[in-house]
Amino acid sequence: MNEVFVRVALDHPLPTLFDYRCATPEMAAAAVPGALVSVPFGKRHVVGLVCEVTTHSDVPAERLKAVDKFCTACPPLSENWLALAAFAADYYQRGLGEVALPALPQALRDTARWSRLFAPEERYRLTPAGRAALPDALPARASALRKLAQALADSDYLLAADARALHPKALPTLDTWQSSGWVELDVIEAAAVPAAVAAENAPAPALPTLTDEQDAAVEAIRDADGFAPFLLHGVTGSGKTEVYLRALADILAAKPAAQALVLVPEINLTPQFEAAFRARFAALDSSAIVTLHSGLAEGERARHWFAAHSGRARIVLGTRLAVLASLPQLAVIVVDEEHDPAYKQQEGLRYSARDLAIYRAKQLGVPVVLGSATPSLESWWQADQGRYKRLTLSRRAVADAVLPTVKLVDLEEERRRGRASFEGLSGPLVAALRARLERGEQSLVFLNRRGYAPQLACDACGWVAGCPRCSAYVVLHKPERALRCHHCGWESRIPRSCPECGNVDIAPMGRGTQRVEESLASAVPGARVLRIDADSTRRKGSAQALFSDVHAGEVDILVGTQMIAKGHDFQRVSLVGVLNADTALFSHDFRASERLFAQLMQVSGRAGRAGLPGEVLIQTRYPRHALYHALSRHDYVGFASATLAERRDAHLPPFVYQALLRAEGRTLEAALAFLQQAAAELTQIPAAARVTAYDAVPLTIVKVMHVHRAQLLIESASRAALQATLRAWQPLLRGLKGVLRWNLEVDPLDI
């Protein structure tokens, strides 16, 4: 019998596969592409992914090591999934192992956990008798037991592992409750694929009446034959989510084993999407809908991933990492808010989840729906070229809901007329906030800058508080009485006086959400003000709790960053105020105007969604700017056409394709020298004749954590020429020395 060898991808920067031999017939029988293996690598034993099985190896026999063991509990990943990972590795210029292994849950990459990872799940759930009797049966001071009982009451079931995390003696307690008839125990085999059964007594959900445009969109998606990319362009509040729900329901009903993937840009949007999908698909088993995102605990993420991989999960809802989840029966993909920059990974494998979703749909021959009120210009251009089918929802779904009125507050005019303002809040905005408070309606104030103030400065000598590790100013966080760097995390106490001249009158410059929250308390007395940003939502579940308060009507004025700008259906918000939007008008980033328009249109769309007249007030010093005029008319089409014409004239994406080489060194000179050598190496590459290389330049924030950073941009009108250049360039770059790190990013968003 011929000896069997496996070629294994490892999470390693070298873009190569590593050969290992199967030492026993049992191992040879288990060796199939897509299997997970434990192998020796140097002095460590690591998890790898089998990509090829062969009876020949070019590696000398004395150098070949044997496979430790195969992961028999996890079925092999499919051929389609391996092809997706291979495409991502090739396109984004990374090793196959750097793509495939990080896409798996951490628990799968730990051999010590393989034996218990897919053990049968023990699930406890309350019986009707327990729901009635248990609250009164517990002692008043038994807070831990009450927490356990509450966890049971709040969910369909409680896993044994989660119960142990709540109380060290949870399992004996649950056994006692089971003997009393208060709790039932189900044991679910992890590898089983239960049918989607009707939930007990689950009523059929009442379906809203579709508009003609919604009905046409659902029909187009449902009837798609093979690969069909749709751009669902719907104004805010037009019912894009309802289109997703109806189309997925039809597709899943037509194919009993089919799976659907729904991507959202941010974790804080998943709870409301999950609630909507569970309510609509109540007839499915509770395990048929799972979420995948970085906010899940390791065990929970592993269980959800395995439910998708085994086919138990019919609908997978997740952030960008979910695009690489294993879904063997994937039949439709939805990318909500497809324009959002959050779909682009900025560390490690710098991939675009939206673009990979489109490739995956093409690979499998299934429809993909890209939804947005403000599509990315790349997607809009593809629709203009006829490559995507554009579906339009031009009006709001609620019969009496109309788009909000957008008004510009001219801050220069306010100043000239000597009108009163309240710490950055203009008189018209304060008056509008007070009027909404009197009517019992909610308001939203948007400022995309967290903290109390972006700078702390001394008027006497001009000193500004800066980070000792970065070339950036530190942000004042007043409630914590701290100065904090948002780039490296360095933190210090607020000084009592200027460290340069001793002046005690140091003061904050500019405004963040904390300062606006403070100003609103005095400008609108009696209002219940709530702030939602990255600082107020650090604890797990805190964002969901805060948004629940807003939906429950316990908040009068919500102030926050981009976290509140998109996707949320605030039924009682009738006013949106926008602060400090002008800074993006003069950014060096050519995408800044596109992002600002999308951001402002998205946050404007939070007003007037349930029939209340909506109003948006934007404070600006440039009320004649074309972007604001397009926004006031809700004219995305006009804005997109004008901006695409500018991009075409300037030879910018989507009319050219770009890649960015970044270098990090101990000095800026070292980083720039590396990039200059890299540019010189391009002359050796034939395909580079069709590529333009720009000069190496420092990044805007040139130093982070004492490391200096610079970048080199290359671009081409031919994607094929750019890719060929990058493939030939990589080996040459590995031969260069002099920097700490370098990375290559394809299709960069931040330049």
Q: Which CATH class is domain 657-746?
A: alpha beta
Residues 148, 172 contacting (CB under 8 angstroms): no
Determine the pLDDT at residue 149.
Answer: 80
CATH of domain 405-453+510-645: 3.40.50.300
Kindly tell me if the per-residue pLDDT of 41 is higher than 70: yes
User: Strands, DSSP E only, in 149-267?
Assistant: 158-159, 183-188, 228-234, 259-263
Question: Mean pLDDT, to the nearest integer, of 446-471?
Answer: 92
CB 609 within 8 A of CB 648: no
Instruction: Kindly indicate the confidence band of residue 251, based on its pLDDT and cuts at 50, 70 and 90.
Output: very high
Tell me which residue of 290, 303, 291, 293 sits closest to 162, measured CA to CA: 303
Domain ranges of the chain: 5-115, 121-188, 212-393, 405-453+510-645, 657-746
**Is there a common fold for 212-393 and 657-746?**
no
Confidence of residue 194 (pLDDT cuts 50, 70, 90): very low
- Report yes or no: 567 and 336 within 8 Å, Cβ to Cβ: yes
CATH topology of domain 5-115: GIY-YIG endonuclease (3.40.1440)
Bridge partners, residue 693, by sequence: 714
Annotated binding site: 458, 461, 467, 470, 485, 488, 498, 501
For the cut 60, the answer to whether the pLDDT of residue 197 exceeds it is: no
**Binding site listing for Zn(2+):** 458, 461, 467, 470, 485, 488, 498, 501
Q: How many residues does the chain have?
A: 751
Beta strands in 238-324 (DSSP E): 259-263, 289-292, 315-318
Q: What is the mean pLDDT of residues 346-367?
A: 95
Question: Is the pLDDT score of 716 beyond 90?
Answer: yes
Residue 165: pLDDT over 80: no
pTM, entire model:
0.87
Question: What is the arithmetic mean of pLDDT over 87-105?
Answer: 94
Determine the pLDDT at residue 218.
Answer: 96
pLDDT value at 324 more than 50:
yes
> 208: which 2 tokens?
């809203």
- In 3D space, the residue among 556, 547, 549, 560 whose CA is nearest the CA of residue 575 turns out to be 556
CB 339 within 8 A of CB 598: yes
**pLDDT score of 688 more than 50:** yes
What pLDDT score was predicted for residue 199?
42
pLDDT of residue 193: 36
Most confident of 8-17, 233-242, 327-336: 327-336
Topology adopted by domain 212-393? Rossmann fold (3.40.50)
Mean pLDDT, range 450-459, rounded to an integer: 91
Query: Which residue, among 742, 720, 737, 708, has the nearest Cα to 90 in the 3D structure?
Result: 720
